[in-house]
Amino acid sequence: MNTTISSLKGKDVLTLIDFSSEQIYELLAIAQQLKQKQQAGESYTPLVGKTLAMIFEKPSTRTRVSFEVGMTQLGGHALYLNSNDLQLGRGETIADTARVLAQYVDAIMIRTFAHQKIEELAEYADVPVINGLTDDDHPCQALADLLTIYEVKKQLKGIKLAYVGDGNNVAHALMIAAAKVGMDCAVACPVGYEPKEQYVTAAKEAAAKTGATITVTHSPEEAVQAADVIYTDVWTSMGQEQESEQRLAVFQPFQVNSQLMKYAKDDYMFLHCLPAHRGEEVTADVIDSGHSYVFQQAGNRLHVQKAILVSLLS
């Protein structure tokens, strides 16, 4: 497949399942180039006159700031819309909202709950729709994760990534991303909190083409064994607050701590999509250690979002 920027022009970014390995590598290469330009102080504004609508039904620090700053740095404009600004799927149908917004803006980024909502938005919008996060998927985060791993490890194929915790949207996106670039991925979750089968199946299908392995286990030690990268996320996500006490008990054996890290490679790197709860899913001596790259990872959200925006809109 031709992997020039134009091959992605106008494409929706709903899930990395829809992207080829070549397209993912292309986005990572563009992100690297844009990061280098910024670090060198070079101005690059290909999106002058373009507007991105940012719909937030779930609040976020990193997603909002990275998209808004990214769009500004590229010469465009970002329009912030929270759940009080729209009647998405309530007073107005999702289809009508999509059609209306497409009259005004060049792309829509949405951070919401049900994945079906973003699929419907994309179906009816005549402009690219970007998934800033749904309950099922988080493709922008996974791309930033890949970029960070590549910067530190200088490769992706053959790297072993261990994810320990809830089989949530972050786990789903990571499995797909890893499989697409030939990176082994082991996911360790408590019984009843495994990733959705459709994502496991999709990841294994992609892995069969790249030579990667995808494993789901209930043993954190098994997952972390000889891992190059260890990743975790909060145990209770937005919308699950009523389950918090139960989750704290169930996930305690899945805490990422120095004892668990003994199973990893000596030069392991630790990642977390943030915000982190020290003393819950990860201990301070891990996330604040020299093995932790969580702030480089957070910073890479900016460069990945810019790569997506440039690829879809320029």
The pLDDT tens digits for 32-68 are: 999 999 999 999 999 999 999 999 999 899 999 999 9
Residue 160 · residue 189 · CB < 8 Å: no
Active-site entry in 64, 272, 291, 301: 301
Q: What is the per-residue pLDDT for 236?
A: 87
Q: Is 242's pLDDT higher than 50?
A: yes
**Cβ neighbours of residue 200 under 8 Å, at least 6 residues apart?**
175, 194, 214, 216
Residue 143 · residue 13 · CB < 8 Å: no
Q: Binning pLDDT at 50, 70 and 90, where does residue 6 land? A: low
Read off the pLDDT of residues 144-171 as tens digits, 9 standing for 90 and up.
999 999 999 999 999 999 999 999 999 9
User: Is 233 marked as a binding-site residue?
Assistant: yes
Percent of the chain with pLDDT over 70: 96
User: Is 82 marked as a binding-site residue?
Assistant: no
Cut 0.85: pTM above it: yes
To the nearest 10°, report the CA torsion of 278, 284, 287, 288. 130
Structure tokens at 206: 């992609």
Report the distance separating Cα 262 and Cα 247, nearest Å.
25
Peptide bond into 128 cis (omega under 30): no
Q: What is the per-residue pLDDT for 90?
A: 66
User: Is 189 marked as a binding-site residue?
Assistant: no
**What is the amino acid identity at position 74?**
L
User: Is 169 marked as a binding-site residue?
Assistant: yes
User: Is 185 marked as a binding-site residue?
Assistant: no
Active-site entry in 115, 138, 247, 291: 138
Report the distance separating Cα 226 and Cα 228, nearest Å.
7
Task: Let me know if 77 is a catalytic residue.
Answer: no
Q: How confident is the model over 61-87, as a mean pLDDT?
A: 93
Active-site entry in 23, 141, 255, 305: 141
- Tell me how far apart the terminal alpha carbons of the chain are, to the nearest angstrom: 19
User: Is 61 marked as a binding-site residue?
Assistant: yes
Active-site entry in 12, 23, 106, 111: 111
Task: Let me know if 301 is a catalytic residue.
Answer: yes
Active-site entry in 255, 273, 291, 303: 273
Task: Let me know if 141 is a catalytic residue.
Answer: yes
**Cβ neighbours of residue 310 under 8 Å, at least 6 residues apart?**
5, 30, 34, 46, 47, 74
Residue 145 · residue 213 · CB < 8 Å: no
Active-site entry in 233, 255, 272, 291: 233
User: Is 301 marked as a binding-site residue?
Assistant: yes
Task: Let me know if 90 is a catalytic residue.
Answer: no
Structure tokens at 133: 């996060």
Residue 27 · residue 35 · CB < 8 Å: no
> Residue 47: what are its φ and ψ, rounded to 5°?
-110, 25
Task: Let me know if 111 is a catalytic residue.
Answer: yes
**CA angle (294 as vertex; 171, 46 as ends), nearest 5:** 90
Q: How confident is the model over 189-218, as a mean pLDDT?
A: 98
User: Is 274 marked as a binding-site residue?
Assistant: yes
Q: What is the per-residue pLDDT for 92?
A: 86
Domains and CATH numbers, the chain: 5-137+301-313 (3.40.50.1370), 141-297 (3.40.50.1370)
User: Is 139 marked as a binding-site residue?
Assistant: yes
Q: Is 85's pLDDT higher than 90?
A: no
Q: Binning pLDDT at 50, 70 and 90, where does residue 231 land? A: very high
Task: Let me know if 138 is a catalytic residue.
Answer: yes
Report the distance separating Cα 237 and Cα 231, nearest Å.
16
